[in-house]
Amino acid sequence: MGENEKVAPRVTVGVDGSATGERALGWAAAEAERRGLPLRVVHALDMPLVMSVYAGPTRFPPTEEISDQGRRVLDRSEAHVHELHPELAVETVLASEDPAKALLSRISPDDLLVTGSRGLGAARSALESSVSVRLAARAVCPVVVVPHGEGSVATPPRRIVVGVDGSEDSRNALGFALREAARVANGSVVVVHSRLVTLPFDPAELPQGGWTPPEDLVDRWSQEMVADMLARIQDEETEGVGVAVSRVDADPATALIEAGESADMIVVGSRGRGSVRGLLLGSVSQGVLRGATVPVVVLPRAAVRRR
């Protein structure tokens, strides 16, 4: 394939046979049909690497039994998709790599990558969504993380919550949320802004100098920032989208999770002004991924740069 050759977009989803993986599969299949895109279903065997003096690191080949087990997961997934969406084009992939690598190596900038918030194979850590965090930090396309839970989440995302803080990441998230809401009838966006992380100065240092910013100054700065972001982003494509603004004093992750309880989707940038720079993914994004009860879309910086 040539370097400049256009790759047809698709929706790619990782499955592992778990209930959470099946939930992510259902969301991905419904979204692929809504977008008119094919669905790629990937199951990772997570075979270990073996060090060789002559060949370097080589992935241990799966046994026939392991391969058969993986193929059964894919066959069940494909049958489930065709039962719900008979006309949807489905491709299945059995990968030897670890789950995150298997998915990251099979996506392009115009894709949508979907994963469950837990599982996806043997990669587990104290943070149960570790694979999801790795995908959301490194993917070249938007990543949708479907939470564990009961029932279907395959409804069209009509009410979308997005977090903003004035940063470039949050502007990209706001633009994505508005465009997604414009794709469905009666789509709306709730713009959530935590005033705890938006001031162009450090409020913690101000009381030491004997001055504390009045509440109306903080609120006015918040209003102006959100209004300016909307004015810069909204266009003919998104002008029909209903927009509500919620300015809160809670920490950003908590505010987004609470607002998302009555929504169909939450959208966040990979990092914002208030994020912890040393992490692979911003602390706000990680907090939302851990606590959200609806699908969360993360826009990694790599995805924005490629686009």
pTM recorded for the entire structure: 0.84
Q: What residue numbers bound the domain in which 233 lies? A: 159-295+302-306
Identify residue 13 by its one-letter amino acid code.
V
Q: Are residues 86 and 196 in the same domain?
A: no
- My answer on whether 113 and 44 are in the same domain is yes
Tens digit of each residue's pLDDT (9 = 90 or more) over 205-250: 545 555 555 567 767 878 888 889 998 888 888 888 999 999 888 8
Domain match, 269 and 204 both: yes
Tell me if 5 is assigned to some domain.
no
Answer whether residue 216 is part of any domain: yes
Last residue of a domain, one of 87, 121, 146: 146
Number of domains in the chain: 2
Residue 58 has pLDDT above 90, yes or no: no
CA separation for the pair 306, 303 (Å, rounded): 5
User: Are 134 and 234 contained in the same domain?
Assistant: no
Among candidates 145, 186, 183, 150, which has minimal Cα distance to 28?
145
Cα–Cα distance for residue pair 56/257, rounded to 1 Å: 45
Considering the domain architecture, whether residues 257 and 188 belong to the same structural domain is answered as: yes
* pLDDT over threshold 90, residue 45: yes
The CATH number that applies at residue 268 is: 3.40.50.620
Q: Distance between CA atoms of 266 and 236, rounded to whole angstroms?
A: 23
pLDDT digits (tens, 9 = 90+) for 130-171: 688 888 888 999 999 999 887 777 889 999 999 998 888 889
Residues 164 and 282 grouped into a single domain? yes
User: For residue 7, what pLDDT is reported?
Assistant: 77
